[in-house]
Amino acid sequence: MEEKCRRCGAVLFNKVPLDDKGNFAMEEQTPLSLESEAGVSFFRCPACKAKNIVAADISGDLGKQRITHAKD
């Protein structure tokens, strides 16, 4: 399963199943790193350089992150 840029549709990273509840984790071999600026976490698209904003949800002991939108 792929996570794609919300701006251009390029593949950011591949996701692998984390548990049987539908949660996913980023593949370990992914060269993309989570960046932070002014308290906002994001993955920068290697194709268009858009910031794909990440919202963190905490559910029990499992931290989940999801990309909500992109901005320049």
pLDDT digits (tens, 9 = 90+) for 16-63: 888 887 777 888 887 888 899 998 889 999 999 999 998 765 444 444
Q: Which domain holds residue 35?
A: 2-71
Question: If pLDDT is split at 50, 70 and 90, which confidence band does 5 have?
Answer: very high
Q: What is the dihedral of CA 69, 64, 29, 68, to 10 degrees?
A: 0
The whole-number pLDDT of residue 65 equals 61
Greater model confidence, 72 or 57: 72
Please give the C-alpha separations between residue 35 and each of 31, 38, 69, in angstroms, as whole numbers: 12, 10, 15
Number of domains in the chain: 1
What global pTM score does this model have? 0.74
At 51 the pLDDT is 94
| Residue from 56, 64, 53 nearest 6 by CA | 53
